[in-house]
Amino acid sequence: MKVPEKVCDKLYIEGQWVPSTGSGTIDVINASTEDVMGRIPEGTPADVDRAVAAARTAFESWSQTDPQERAKFLQALADGLGARNQEIAETICGEVGMPMFLAQLIQAGLPTAVAGSFVSLLDEFAFEERIGNSLVVREPVGVVGCITPWNYPLHQIIAKVAPALAAGCTVVLKPSEVAPLNAFILAEIVDSIALPAGVFNLVSGTGPEVGEAIAGHPDIDMVSFTGSTRAGKRVAELGAQTVKRVALELGGKSANILLDDLDDDELEKAARAGVGSCYLNSGQTCTAFTRMLVPRSKHDDIVDIVRDEVEKVYTIGDPAAGESRLGPLISDAQRSRVRGYIEKGIEEGATLVAGGPEQPEDLPTGYYVKPTVFANVDNAMTIAQEEIFGPVLSVIPYDDEDDAVRIANETAYGLSGGVWAHDPDRATAVARRVRTGQLEINGGSFNPLAPFGGYKQSGNGRELGRYGLEEFLETKSLQL
């Protein structure tokens, strides 16, 4: 599948496509072919100033619109995303490297569903309530700067933009410069539904230029950021200078606990599902279950199951062909980073069960990394503590339930995780002890209406559903 090169030579500010004040451009690279698949403007702080001024002006009227009026725009946005599902999927398949059948379901389908979810939420959300002699009202926080990542690019954009608009906020978006073309499709949809000028603005560019200009801008009331913990600390530092609200969704090193009461069939199901939870999007997922915690007595048996699953199911290849479960990584830099971690795991004494750091022989072009499994991993090892963001699974033995919980919590992160047990009540009890923002019980499915976010260095704030809407609201008390 050859997607035509998409050249985006203008930014979207105040309801118009306008040239950047700078002259630079950024090439967008296809992750599987290493060819240029598009080009975007390299925006400047001056562009951010223009976008913020437009958003500030638009806020005065947009913040006063009836929630049902905002819901109509969100429904039109969801419809527009659905109508361009194939184009969005093909674009993100090229940008990120997710296989097409998954890109259609997740990269294109999920943003459509999330945008639509806020339509019904607006119908039922209570923006005010009486408490004694007080009227407590929920008002939009103001102008919101959204800085988004490349791994689930459009989903992460919609998870911020949709609730911000639903709340009555106006938005300045900086998408990842590595996977930005989908954001320009979104801006085209926004333009087509006649959203009032200045309510949504798009400024593309790099983090050090556009991202930092947004995070530190005195006329931006809130920044919502998704990305690495290192970059999130910088956003928080800049945001603190104007005491703006900062919501952060950062890294993860999630544990998947397989408890010792699982029978043989349940254990096999859990182990095979755990591989998928680690390898989704070639491991480029902040919630990836990269640590599989297993009873020490069953470690070797589980490793055999995992090896079999990887060898039989997790083939790698051209994501556009639709024949493989794993595509490439996002970039050469990310491939080098992941290979470095694999080499570090070998150096530190973990047992390499599958994969390795070498380029797949049959895929000389593209940022591919073999699906890799390490066994006999100690939780103190680098591969068990640092976020790798690639298809690398660490199998870690534990002695008893308390030891499993200790290992799960012995990390700087706390974003996601899983617990598998024969007794679901036991699994739930163990999950309550894990310090993380979201856990799957016996493979429970993702719920786009449930709150999403992390503990510890995985960030603060919540996205999606009612909790995601509340992030963009201020609380005012009127004493009557």
pLDDT over 70, % of the chain: 99
The predicted structure's pLDDT at residue 287: 97
Check 169, 286, 387, 401 and give the catalytic one.
286
Is residue 130 located within the same domain as residue 269? no
Q: Let me know if 286 is a catalytic residue.
A: yes
Is residue 344 located within the same domain as residue 219? no
Is residue 340 located within the same domain as residue 464? no
The three-point CA angle 451-457-462 to 5° equals 15
Q: Which of 278, 16, 13, 281 is nearest to 153 (CA)?
A: 281
Is residue 269 included in any domain, yes or no? yes
Range of the domain at 20: 6-250+457-479
Is residue 50 located within the same domain as residue 132? yes
Is residue 281 located within the same domain as residue 238? no
**Number of structural domains found in the chain:** 2
Measured in whole angstroms, how far is the alpha carbon of residue 283 from the centre of its chain?
12
Cβ atoms 225, 235 nearer than 8 A: yes
Is residue 330 included in any domain, yes or no? yes
**Which residues touch 335 (CB under 8 Å, ≥6 apart)?**
328, 329, 367, 368, 369, 390
What is d(CA 291, CA 294) in angstroms, rounded to the nearest whole number?
A: 9
Check 177, 249, 401, 471 and give the catalytic one.
249
Whether residue 211 is predicted with pLDDT greater than 90 in this model: the reply is: yes
Backbone angles phi, psi at 223, to 5 degrees: -120, 130
Cβ atoms 244, 222 nearer than 8 A: yes
Is residue 343 located within the same domain as residue 397? yes
What is d(CA 22, CA 269) in angstroms, rounded to the nearest whole number?
A: 54
Instruction: For residue 3, name the pLDDT band (cuts at 50, 70, 90).
Output: low
Is residue 1 included in any domain, yes or no? no
Side-chain-side CA neighbours of 182 within 13 Å: the count stands at 34
Which residues make beta-bridge pairs with 393? 373
Measured in whole angstroms, how far is the alpha carbon of residue 308 from the centre of its chain?
29
Is residue 271 located within the same domain as residue 231? no
Is residue 175 included in any domain, yes or no? yes
Whether residue 190 is predicted with pLDDT greater than 90 in this model: the reply is: yes
The three-point CA angle 465-172-216 to 5° equals 105
Is residue 61 located within the same domain as residue 144? yes
**Which residues touch 413 (CB under 8 Å, ≥6 apart)?**
229, 250, 251, 252, 253, 254, 387, 436, 454, 456, 457, 458
Contacts 24+ apart (CB under 8 A), 61-68: 61/196, 62/168, 62/169, 62/170, 62/196, 62/198, 62/199, 63/139, 63/140, 63/142, 63/168, 63/169, 63/170, 64/168, 65/168, 67/122, 67/123, 67/125, 67/127, 67/166, 67/168, 68/122, 68/123
Is residue 411 included in any domain, yes or no? yes
Encoded tokens for 230: 């290192």
What is d(CA 422, CA 139) in angstroms, rounded to the nearest whole number?
A: 46
* Average pLDDT score over residue span 442-451: 96
* Average pLDDT score over residue span 156-180: 98
The predicted structure's pLDDT at residue 81: 98
* Average pLDDT score over residue span 108-119: 98
**Which residues touch 201 (CB under 8 Å, ≥6 apart)?**
11, 12, 13, 14, 51, 52, 54, 55, 170, 171, 172, 173
Is residue 314 included in any domain, yes or no? yes
Cβ atoms 473, 167 nearer than 8 A: yes
Encoded tokens for 74: 């969100």
What is d(CA 379, CA 441) in angstroms, rounded to the nearest whole number?
A: 22
Encoded tokens for 191: 């333009």
Is residue 417 located within the same domain as residue 277? yes
* Average pLDDT score over residue span 290-294: 98
What pLDDT digit, counting tens, does each position of 339-355 carry? 999 999 999 999 999 99
Whether residue 443 is predicted with pLDDT greater than 60 in this model: the reply is: yes
Is residue 143 located within the same domain as residue 229? yes
DSSP code, position 451: -
Mean pLDDT rounded to a whole number for the chain? 97
Is residue 443 located within the same domain as residue 461? no
- In total, the chain counts a number of residues equal to 480
Amino acid at 361: E
Is residue 103 located within the same domain as residue 171? yes
Encoded tokens for 426: 């036991």
Is residue 469 included in any domain, yes or no? yes
Is residue 470 included in any domain, yes or no? yes
What is d(CA 294, CA 300) in angstroms, rounded to the nearest whole number?
A: 10
CATH code at position 360: 3.40.309.10
Whether residue 171 is predicted with pLDDT greater than 90 in this model: the reply is: yes
> What is the CB neighbour count within 10 angstroms for residue 387?
23
> What is the CB neighbour count within 10 angstroms for residue 173?
26
The predicted structure's pLDDT at residue 7: 92
Cβ atoms 266, 380 nearer than 8 A: no
The predicted structure's pLDDT at residue 408: 98
CATH code at position 155: 3.40.605.10
Q: Let me know if 249 is a catalytic residue.
A: yes
pLDDT over 90, % of the chain: 98
The predicted structure's pLDDT at residue 322: 77
Whether residue 2 is predicted with pLDDT greater than 60 in this model: the reply is: no
